[in-house]
Structure 1
Amino acid sequence: MEDLIGTQEPQQRITDPAAAVHALERAIPGLVEHRRPEPAPVNWRLLEEGLGTRLPTDYKLLAALYPTFTLGDFLVVGLPAPGAEHRRLHGIRDDLEIVQDWWEADMSIGLRPHPAPGGLLPWAQSNQGDLFLWTTTTAEPDDWPVTVASRNGGWWNYLGGAVQFVAELIDGTLQPWELPPVRPEVIAHRH
């Protein structure tokens, strides 16, 4: 079984999605140049019905404002794009199969993949095999903690939203336990 290193909690949890995106833009100054001129009309109904759950509003706002992007040639924040929602849904399902394999091999600190109660739902990954997931512990997606599944074997939790997690990982507020430092260099992936 993999180890749970611990849990980190933000000094102040950002509950407003716009404030979380603003914190991310402060942490990654080059991100703003990739911001869409108008919010994208993502078909959230297709994604949420396909996953069987609503998704956190900070993630939804980030996807409306930005395309998928990579940070520091390491962290890939996968976001759905209008007209490509099926592609993103397929990618999430592929990652859920990985989580299922981990669970079956007793490598997921006892956490099952979504849609199991409290299951893990992937939202980002690294180019080195790390997964960044929500632990779907409550009926309210905005309260889901982030769980980091490091390829190095250490798992840990962050008691804030995904967007705040990325901002604090980049600005150094967060200890990167089992992860390399991530530079604020951004590459946007246009679909």
Structure 2
Amino acid sequence: MELTQAAVNDLLARLGPGGSCMYLPGDLDPKELAGLLADRYGTPHTLVLDGFADPTVDDSRGAALLVPFEDRAVTIRAWAYGDQWVGTGTARDTEGTERAVLAIARREVPEPPDAAPDEGGDVDWLERLGRITGWTLPDQRPDMDWAETESRLGTALPSDYKRMVETFGEGAFDGFLDLNQEPWTDLREDRLLVWAGTEHEDLYCWKPDGGDPDRWPVVVRSFDGEDVAFDCRAAEFVCRILVDPHHPFTMARYFDTHWFMNYGRRD
């Protein structure tokens, strides 16, 4: 079977939006299928390897994908995508033959908390962002050398941004808002540092006014070159655009369930 992204679309459509699975044709390469899924969903995490299930796997990490295979799964890798888990790999069929498989399961994510417009400065926006995205994985980049990065950039960086990078690593919120692993300096002549960007070519920046990076306002450089300032920090800004449908740069109109697509997670 020739695998293309269009063929993958057809397979997923046959499974439908609910929980289901299928054994795939014998000439299909499961590694090639996993590669195509990684191209669209990011780096997977492993549920089963060489017949041994990860003992930490629970409902928050895609355990529902394993239910149809009982104890016959050989290798299963999974992706979180909106309100679904997508999984692929190999499993033994009822006759004991190892075959490529594809599965979808419902992903239950807690109802996102609102953006807390009336709360004061004591809100832990990183903790709130974790709840909004259903993030349960360990910190992805806990060993970041921020001293070296800040020395090279010639400035300290906001603490909430550094926690975001350490927590989520390289990837995108809702597969749409890319989190830079260090700020871009392309707009330095405009006195802006870029910490994130979207497929719509909006750039999320700081205006580094004053000596305290934790007080830098967020500035959005839109695709048409307009700058729009917001009196908040980066993590708060991300929380608000994810869940507030009235925010001028909202993502809530496009995504009901929020997640973080990781591009380089270590298994």
Structure 2 partner of 1:189 = 263
Alignment map for 1:34-183 (pairs within 5 Å): 34-36=137-139, 40-79=142-181, 88=182, 92=183, 95-97=184-186, 99=187, 112-113=189-190, 119-172=191-244, 175-177=247-249, 181=253, 183=255
CA contact (8 A) 1:152 1:178 kept: no
Q: State the structure with bigger RCO (CA 8 A, min sep 6), 1 or 2.
A: 1
1:22 to 101, 121, 127: 127
Going from structure 1 to structure 2, the CA distance change for 1:127 and 1:180 (only over 3 Å counts) comes to farther
Task: Output the CA distance in 1 between the equivalents of 2:232 and 2:129.
Answer: 13
Task: Output the CA distance in 1 between the equivalents of 2:133 and 2:144.
Answer: 23
Deviation at 1:174, TM superposition (A): 5.8
Going from structure 1 to structure 2, the CA distance change for 1:136 and 1:15 (only over 3 Å counts) comes to farther
Q: Alpha carbon RMSD of aligned pairs, Å?
A: 2.6
Give structure 1 regions of 4+ aligned residues with deviation exceeding 6 angstroms: none
Task: Output the CA distance in 2 between the equivalents of 1:49 and 1:124.
Answer: 20
Q: Residue 160 of structure 2 aligns to a residue in which SS?
A: helix
Deviation at 1:66, TM superposition (A): 2.0
Q: TM-score, normalized by length of structure 2?
A: 0.49
Gapped regions of structure 2 (runs ≥ 5): 1-116
Q: Residue 156 of structure 2 aligns to a residue in which SS?
A: coil
Q: Residue 149 of structure 2 aligns to a residue in which SS?
A: helix
Greater share of strand: 2
Task: Output the CA distance in 2 between the equivalents of 1:69 and 1:14.
Answer: 27
Structure 2 partner of 1:85 = none
Going from structure 1 to structure 2, the CA distance change for 1:161 and 1:182 (only over 3 Å counts) comes to farther
CA contact (8 A) 1:68 1:189 kept: yes
Q: TM-score, normalized by length of structure 1?
A: 0.66
Q: Residue 33 of structure 1 aligns to a residue in which SS?
A: coil
Give the total of aligned pairs: 147
Greater share of helix: 1
Query: What residue identity is the alignment partner of 1:45?
Result: A
